[in-house]
Amino acid sequence: MSSDGHTGTVTETYVCPTCGETTQREFRVPSVVRTCEGGCGFVHFLREDLLELVERVPEEERPDDWEELHGEERLRIAVREGHVSLADLRR
């Protein structure tokens, strides 16, 4: 997240959970639905800091296919298992 010193606007980075393509927006929501320029179709780009939170899931609690899962699936698991809260999603 960065702040524009002139207007006070906050810019958030959103990440395609499939390929990692990024986009920036001047608002803060958990996800942005858009067409991925990386060829992934129409997907939910997740806020970058939310994807970082999935690392809270301890390795021993991760499913065997964790490395193959997209960011969105990892985030669902992190929320379901209580490692990411609804408050985290709203921040």
For the segment 2-61, what is each residue's pLDDT rounded down to a tens digit? 444 455 678 999 999 889 999 999 999 999 999 999 999 888 899 999 989 998 899 999
Spans of all domains in the chain: 2-90
Q: Tell me, what amino acid is at 62?
A: R
pLDDT computed for residue 71 by the predictor: 86
Look up the pTM and report it: 0.76
pLDDT computed for residue 7 by the predictor: 57
Contact 54, 84 (CB under 8 A): yes
Contact 15, 40 (CB under 8 A): no
Confidence of residue 70 (pLDDT cuts 50, 70, 90): confident
